[in-house]
Amino acid sequence: MTPRQRLVSISRSADQRIAEFELQAGIKTSRTLVYCGLAIVGFANGASERIARAIDENGILAASYDTFGVSTVVWAALLAGIWLLLRSDPKPMRRIDIAVAASAAVAFLLPIPALSWLAITMIATHLAFSSQSTNLERRAGAVLGAATVPMFWARILFASMSNSILAADAKLVGWLVGTKSQGNVIPFADGSGMLFLEPACSSLTNVSLAYLCGVLFLKIYDRPWSLSATSTIAIACFATIALNVIRISSICLFPRYYDEIHGPLGATLAGWATIAVILTIYIRGIKPNATAHA
């Protein structure tokens, strides 16, 4: 027996002992239920900072209208991931599942929200690429992993490249308005002042949400990654950039309406317009797989 065969044999023996112990103890632990619980706890811990800030600044009622500072697309991804996991056939926990679950539990216990998103990324990667995962579990892993992009990875990217990202947005706005931007500063069209782009004005957040929405459509419809799917997601991402640039350009063209365009009303209208455009693109570009069987 080669060393590799011996290692595989030891691993299988360990998994069999775990299954025998569960059977003797009257325990039947489903890995899908465990991962559902981990996803819920991880999302709660990871989003706790945003939720607490939204409630503190706006009150619980107003915060609930704003989905507690977390995009509805992210909440939809959590529900979709749990739904896909619950539809999968229950399987007993294996040694690797116990290791992944224990590592995630340790991360959740520490009062650092970022660790929760790292743990969910680990869980999602395991579900998406494990040879033991079913099709539904792989799809759930892809959705949960994509949900960490706007909640964590996009923020890491922005923290490391904020000046370049804001400067790119400013150049697009300056080109549309007809004024020359300097860094993240854009002069108003009438010369009465200038606009400083802040992190909240970046297109990156909407791009990450457009990507997440595209993954949701692909995995719920059980469609494979293809040139057509990738092109549709790219179009949706470019559309979100265009809408954000148009909104900021409107401020530079009509600075007297700054409060209306940049304030809650303008932000709400821009948000709903972005969602409507993204959904239209994906509804037309990604169709359900009628022949797929879960």
User: Among candidates 246, 239, 281, 240, which has minimal Cα distance to 266?
Assistant: 246
pTM: 0.85
Decide: residue 255, CB within 10 A, 0-12 exposed, 13-18 middle, 19+ buried.
middle
In this predicted structure, the answer to whether residue 217 has a pLDDT above a threshold of 70 is: yes
Cβ contacts of 4 within 8 Å, gap of 6 or more: none
Give mean pLDDT, residues 31-59: 91
Alpha-carbon distance of 78 to 228, in angstroms, equals 25
Question: What pLDDT does residue 264 have?
Answer: 78
The tokens for 35 are 């991962």
In this predicted structure, the answer to whether residue 38 has a pLDDT above a threshold of 50 is: yes
Question: What pLDDT does residue 239 have?
Answer: 96
87-123 pLDDT, tens per residue?
Answer: 988 888 888 999 999 999 999 998 899 999 999 999 9
165-214 pLDDT, tens per residue?
Answer: 999 999 999 999 988 888 889 999 888 889 998 888 889 989 999 999 99
257-279 pLDDT, tens per residue?
Answer: 888 888 878 888 888 899 899 99
**C-alpha angle 144/240/42, rounded to 5°?**
20
Q: What is the mean pLDDT of the chain?
A: 86
Torsion of CA 89, 42, 114, 267, to 10 degrees: 100
Q: How many CB atoms lie within 10 A of CB 242?
A: 15
Q: How many CB atoms lie within 10 A of CB 140?
A: 30
